[in-house]
Structure 1
């Protein structure tokens, strides 16, 4: 992180100068008393960049593991000064203000900084009393009419705190991306030693299984207190969407994984309350432009435009889906798998995507989503066996999307995926039942940051022989970096040999290139 001495801090002006305060925060009230400990233990972050704006985030916490969820903070509004500068030394300050961090929002800070210049790097920090935060780097998107020469984008998913150390986040930060996408499973809901990796757990979750606001807040704070994760947040703006573990494993709309589990109390109303609390804690702990959720629904799908180069369609594949078929898991193909009405996205999100494909004039249309998109048959014999949690369980919905981007003339469709704890690179087809069906897009799947431990290090999967459109596989932990230009998108699959001990290097296990206007992956 970009930390420097406190003596360079310029005291902020009044609240609201060049910014919008998100979350119904009024002008800061001084309150009483002083903080005797550093409140910036959770680091800083930025996100949801526009061409003239970016969201700045921090959350005040003197005791991240406080079981009340309030992180040891006083029950009063705390004034937080913020600055944005054009240099990492914070000498050329261009925006500043004061934000009232309120206890009802877990003392989280969301500042919508306006009036910035398009396509520019900026640096930012916060101050409370005598305490200074680390300095973060962020950037704005290019102007809508501009075609940038390149974009360095990295994406990641699945960071189970107990399964390993977050070294992969630090290596991602050292690759200096311009933009980071997190595709879900940012945190896990289990109490300690409930979900044990094959290599054994190397550290413990604090608190119970997350099922109410206090426990979700505590869990987010435990993850955010990790310095490797903080380094990744501080290097670039993030676009975030959730998967299942931010709420409950393999949940589907109003249905939890196990309705009878104690934490779900066996009723739809109880699970709705759990979703409400999880959504609120997620908003409090992420650099989101969205207004805070008011109940058990929260529209998180949205778009970010990167000039004329790319549109990022950030999707939600949990909140609106039909329940998984046949008890979830990998199952033999059944009669309901092709039911037209079964949906992963829900009707409104599907229409939003199809309308976005029709309206797009960007060189690259990139879907940031959670679960395996390509068909993956796991039965080597005459039968068929698929993951009911992935798009194979929602085949009609998948077909409508691929037909939608094909008929809309989307120039370069690319699907980004997390969830499966393995690296994959896949060609996408219009008709999976026809081996000669044309390739209509590409899928890049990132491995996990830590989930399932060190991995087998294998670079071959038996499923590749059954599914020749699956072009690459690697069972290491890691992330993916990309370089997007008007001419091509190049992806590097970055892997770590070990996460059960900190400090491993990241190496590139494979590199793929997608040429502008050419369907399919090319090994680079």
Structure 2
């Protein structure tokens, strides 16, 4: 379990220091208790907040009992933090009866209020999974009084620290973090829109120059999220792909679809079918398939960034595919699906963000053949705020449902996906809010889908 905080009395200080300029190492006391009043303290210690990591604190506590709820807080001098709640994972071999979690993505600060996070905090969950676009790098101002700080595209370490700190000032996001342990991965906007490995989306930026920016972005990301020491960046490199086990019931494989990928190519480019192209990089791809093949969990959940199912937008005989997600990396997707079949991987569920819409789909070994074998299910979750209020249907949704028989559902409202897993099935409930451009929206369940144990693919609940 990782406990996180950052010392930032002035979160938006222009130098990115959070108001800690000139401060050296600061000892931070931390406490864990079984009750919110801390009458039964079970662990405590001191962790040093250093300027090298933005005076952030990442405490790894490994002395707690498995599968238990705990409360935690921090102290510095006469200051005391609000109380957070967390829960340890069950033991690796535990026979867990039920697992409830939610997944979210894409929380553009100027685009809308984080009402979905406020409702999320009231759910009965063991964890929250964030699938990327935790921040946005641009200089948007919007029209809601939530303009980005600094008021420009961020490129330096100070810039990224200020942007992360601004997002962290949102009370609904704070409430969501304080309610549950979080599992996080990134997409592109934590650095730059549509970047690929060392390649900027701007042709005039040299890879070496872009890696300087990536190093700054990765460090600020680490400083502001509950990640282990194994993820401390080494310059422009940072390992974020990992596995998390919830007893014998579920194993989460958290992927990194940005840091190692091949560059995007044009829709009609013959390079799109180059078998050497990769979404994950060769090492992560091997690690993924080896892990899936060795898994003994009932449910194998891939937590990743971009749409995996074929997403054709041409209802006719042609193909109009997006090139930044798995549709632009078809050989890599085929290797994954073939590897899943060859290793007899069962109960594969993919959870996805990025697209600012909700969708549920069967994952077919050959999307060109509707009767092809179904190898898994994909649940695409909408954004927290990106894209504004949204709508029940848009042109993309009409095209997707007309052109892709493996897609079962589409919606473009904002919200999150609540998932409930037991030995018999996996259920995904799409929780949506009707608006984000003003506060106070209610939440409702728009649709629910299930995957039955041993029967790959999506069914209406």
TM-score (norm 1): 0.85
Match of 1:190 in 2: 138
Match of 1:16 in 2: none
Indicate if the aligned counterparts of 1:375 and 1:432 stay in contact, CA closer than 8 A: yes
TM alignment of 1:301-320, pairs within 5 A: 301-320=241-260
Deviation at 1:381, TM superposition (A): 2.3
**Residue 258 in structure 1 maps to residue 195 in structure 2:** no
Q: Once structures 1 and 2 are overlaid, which stretch shifts more, 104-113 or 202-211?
A: 202-211
SS at match of 2:456: coil
Deviation at 1:294, TM superposition (A): 1.7
**Residue 511 in structure 1 maps to residue 448 in structure 2:** yes
**Residue 230 in structure 1 maps to residue 230 in structure 2:** no
Match of 2:15 in 1: 68
Point out where structure 1 has 5 or more consecutive residues left out of the alignment.
Answer: 1-53, 261-265
Match of 1:203 in 2: 146
Match of 1:130 in 2: 78
Deviation at 1:106, TM superposition (A): 0.8
Match of 1:19 in 2: none
Inter-partner Cα distance in structure 1 for 2:297 and 2:341 = 15
Deviation at 1:335, TM superposition (A): 2.7
Inter-partner Cα distance in structure 1 for 2:427 and 2:340 = 21
Question: Which of the residues 185, 190, 196 maps onto 1:241?
Answer: 185
Deviation at 1:334, TM superposition (A): 4.0
Deviation at 1:430, TM superposition (A): 0.3
SS at match of 1:410: coil
Indicate if the aligned counterparts of 1:176 and 1:235 stay in contact, CA closer than 8 A: no
Superposition RMSD on alpha carbons, in Å? 1.2
Q: Once structures 1 and 2 are overlaid, which stretch shifts more, 238-247 or 100-109?
A: 100-109
Inter-partner Cα distance in structure 1 for 2:67 and 2:273 = 44
Inter-partner Cα distance in structure 2 for 1:259 and 1:137 = 45
Match of 2:102 in 1: 154
Inter-partner Cα distance in structure 1 for 2:51 and 2:255 = 30
Match of 2:233 in 1: 293
Deviation at 1:176, TM superposition (A): 2.8
TM alignment of 1:37-436, pairs within 5 A: 54-74=1-21, 75-193=23-141, 200=143, 202-207=145-150, 208-260=152-204, 266-289=205-228, 290-326=230-266, 331=267, 333-436=268-371
Indicate if the aligned counterparts of 1:163 and 1:202 stay in contact, CA closer than 8 A: no
**Residue 453 in structure 1 maps to residue 388 in structure 2:** yes
Indicate if the aligned counterparts of 2:425 and 2:451 stay in contact, CA closer than 8 A: yes
Inter-partner Cα distance in structure 2 for 1:439 and 1:309 = 22
SS at match of 1:244: coil
SS at match of 1:153: strand
Deviation at 1:456, TM superposition (A): 2.0
Inter-partner Cα distance in structure 2 for 1:259 and 1:306 = 43
Change (3 A) 1:363 1:294: same
Indicate if the aligned counterparts of 1:496 and 1:504 stay in contact, CA closer than 8 A: yes
Q: Once structures 1 and 2 are overlaid, which stretch shifts more, 97-106 or 246-255?
A: 97-106
Deviation at 1:202, TM superposition (A): 4.6
SS at match of 2:121: helix
Deviation at 1:404, TM superposition (A): 1.3
Inter-partner Cα distance in structure 2 for 1:129 and 1:443 = 48
Q: Once structures 1 and 2 are overlaid, which stretch shifts more, 283-292 or 308-317?
A: 283-292
How many residues align structurally? Answer: 456
Point out where structure 2 has 5 or more consecutive residues left out of the alignment.
Answer: none
Deviation at 1:249, TM superposition (A): 0.2
Match of 1:26 in 2: none
SS at match of 2:160: helix
TM alignment of 1:466-477, pairs within 5 A: 466-477=403-414
Inter-partner Cα distance in structure 1 for 2:179 and 2:442 = 18
